[in-house]
């Protein structure tokens, strides 16, 4: 049996300072299989970036071990980093070089010569061909984000880590990026994705882990998480103020209100309550719960005490872990460490 693409074994991280200690990660145990597209979800401050920083060698775990394709990120860091490509949250770039020069330099960090054919393919796939000769300072934020993706992939790593790669970017970049990453995944690259765009995770990831206040409280195939959703959702629009009694169980975004609706009786009760409260509604529809509904439900109701089988790996031959089977992770400040695209040294 081949080694996991990524393996976190009992990883903990504690920050100490003049104001005391902060437990950022606690006993994380999680394996991601080669070729798997895996989603790591959680609110801000859940420890996602801290975990990735340890994986990338930018931060040291207080205890535990992390391996990339069987290579320890501390004991065998040179090999581990060559196998890993990280796209960071921050826009980190060198202002003195063109796009092509930046990619050639990044290739050199990994000891790769004559890489122009792959660089040309990256530029083409990411819509950067016409920007190859432009200085990095001249690029928009979205274009800089594309260059970061190209830098992370320039050495053809078998393991790709995307830390909120589409945050604040336009629809075109999202579609371009996901087409290319999906192709790489089909070719066998493992992908670890963190994102706040849950529709992306639902569409792309075969398995999902969720973090809450530093602890990993759900780990299961995406299909199982969706199947375990307890209800449908009634969605409508209104310009009126929704009474507190109704609002406390609703998800409200501007004029759009969404309420859990287990069955037709629940829908009828919601409509009666809204009518009695004088709330005028339009565009009423009933839909199946999506990953965002599942995520909010898990965050509101589940604790790490309900989690079992902390070392659960990817499904093997039909023995897929259920929604309550997960490792534990503790989260601190996502800004405690800074992630950037690193090179083997």
For the chain, give every domain's residue range: 6-227+294-306, 232-288
User: By the 8 A CB rule, do 27 and 12 touch?
Assistant: yes
Residue 344 to residues 5, 91, 144, 304, 325, Cα–Cα distance (Å): 18, 20, 22, 36, 35
List, for residues 4-23, the tens digit of each pLDDT value.
999 999 899 998 888 888 88
In this prediction, residues 234-247 reach a mean pLDDT of 90
Q: What is the pLDDT of residue 315?
A: 44
Segment 152-158 shows an average pLDDT of 95
Question: What's residue 302's pLDDT?
Answer: 61
Contact 103/154 with Cβ under 8 angstroms?
yes
Coil vs helix vs strand at 192: strand
Residue 151 near residue 103 (C-beta atoms within 8 A)? yes
Q: Which residue has the higher pLDDT, 193 or 226?
A: 193
The yes-or-no verdict on residue 33 having pLDDT over 50 is yes
| Sequential DSSP letters for 293-335 | HHHHHHHHH--GGG-B-TT--S--TT----TTB--------TT
Confidence of residue 54 (pLDDT cuts 50, 70, 90): very high
Core vs surface per residue 138-169: b (16+ CB within 10 A) or e: ebeebbbbbbbbbbbbbbebbbbbbbbbbeeb
DSSP 8-state code for residue 73: T
Provide the pLDDT for residue 98: 93
Query: 3-class SS at 39?
Result: strand
Q: How far apart are CA 96 and CA 90, in angstroms?
A: 18
Token readout for 87 is 């796209």
pLDDT band at 282 (very low <50, low <70, confident <90, very high): very high
Question: What does the DSSP 8-state code read for residue 238?
Answer: -
Structure token digits, residue 111: 């000891």
How far apart are alpha carbons 259 and 285 in whole angstroms? 11
Closest C-alpha among 321, 341, 328, 263 to residue 302: 328
Q: Which of 102, 90, 173, 89 is nearest to 134 (CA)?
A: 102
Give the pLDDT band of residue 318 (cuts 50, 70, 90): very low
CA pseudo-torsion sign 291, 296, 298, 304: positive
- Please choose, from the candidates 205, 206, 204, 198, the residue with its C-alpha nearest in 3D space to the C-alpha of residue 43: 198
State pLDDT tens for residues 166-199: 877 788 888 888 999 999 999 999 999 998 889 8
> What is the reported pLDDT for 321?
36
Find the range with the poorest average confidence among 19-33, 118-132, 144-158, 328-342.
Answer: 328-342
Question: What's the pLDDT score for residue 303?
Answer: 55
Confidence band of 230 (pLDDT split at 50, 70, 90): low
Distance CA 109, CA 306 (A): 45
**Under DSSP, is residue 130 helix (H, G, I), strand (E, B) or coil?**
helix
Condensed to tens digits (0 to 9), the pLDDT of residues 76-92 reads 999 999 999 999 888 88
- Is pLDDT of 328 > 70? no
Q: Which residues contact 289 (CB under 8 A, 6 or more apart)?
A: 226, 229, 230, 231, 232, 233, 260
CB atoms within 10 A of CB 36: 21
Tens-digit pLDDT profile for residues 112-149 = 998 999 999 999 999 899 999 998 888 888 888 889 99
Tell me which residue has tokens 């970049």. 173
Do 158 and 69 meet the contact criterion of CB atoms below 8 Å apart? yes
Q: Architecture of 6-227+294-306 per CATH? A: 3-Layer(aba) Sandwich (3.40)
Q: How far apart are CA 65 and CA 129, in angstroms?
A: 40
Chain mean position to CA 209 = 9
């Amino acid at each position: 049996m081949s080694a996991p693409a990524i393996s976190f074994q009992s990883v903990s991280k504690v920050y100490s300072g003049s104001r005391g200690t902060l437990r950022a990660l606690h006993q994380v145990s999680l394996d991601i299989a080669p070729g798997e597209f895996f989603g790591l979800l959680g609110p801000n401050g859940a420890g996602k970036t801290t975990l990735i920083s340890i994986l990338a060698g930018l931060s040291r775990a207080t205890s535990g071990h992390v391996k990339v394709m069987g290579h320890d990120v501390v004991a065998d860091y040179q090999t581990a980093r060559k196998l890993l490509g990280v796209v960071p949250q921050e826009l980190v770039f060198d202002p003195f070089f063109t796009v092509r020069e930046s990619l050639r330099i990044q290739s050199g960090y990994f000891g790769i010569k004559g890489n122009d054919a792959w660089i040309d393919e990256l530029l083409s796939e990411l819509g950067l061909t016409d920007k190859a000769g432009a200085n990095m300072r001249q690029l928009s934020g979205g274009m800089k984000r594309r260059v970061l993706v190209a830098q992370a992939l320039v050495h053809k790593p078998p393991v790709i880590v995307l830390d909120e790669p589409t945050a604040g970017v336009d629809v075109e970049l999202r579609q371009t990026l996901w087409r290319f990453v999906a192709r790489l995944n089909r070719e066998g690259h493992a992908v670890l994705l963190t994102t706040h765009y849950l529709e992306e995770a639902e569409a792309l990831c075969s398995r999902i882990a969720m973090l809450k206040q530093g602890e990993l409280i759900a780990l299961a195939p995406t299909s199982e998480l969706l199947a375990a959703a307890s209800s449908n959702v009634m969605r409508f629009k209104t310009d009126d103020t929704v009474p507190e009694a109704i609002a406390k169980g609703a998800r409200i975004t501007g004029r759009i209100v969404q309420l859990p609706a287990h069955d037709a009786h629940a829908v009828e009760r919601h409509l009666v309550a809204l009518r009695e409260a004088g709330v005028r509604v339009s565009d009423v529809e009933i839909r199946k719960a999506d990953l965002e509904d599942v995520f909010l439900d898990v965050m509101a109701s589940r604790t790490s005490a309900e989690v079992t089988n902390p070392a659960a790996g990817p499904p093997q031959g039909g023995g897929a872990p259920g929604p309550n089977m997960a490792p534990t992770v503790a989260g601190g400040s996502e800004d405690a460490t800074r992630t950037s695209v690193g090179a083997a040294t």
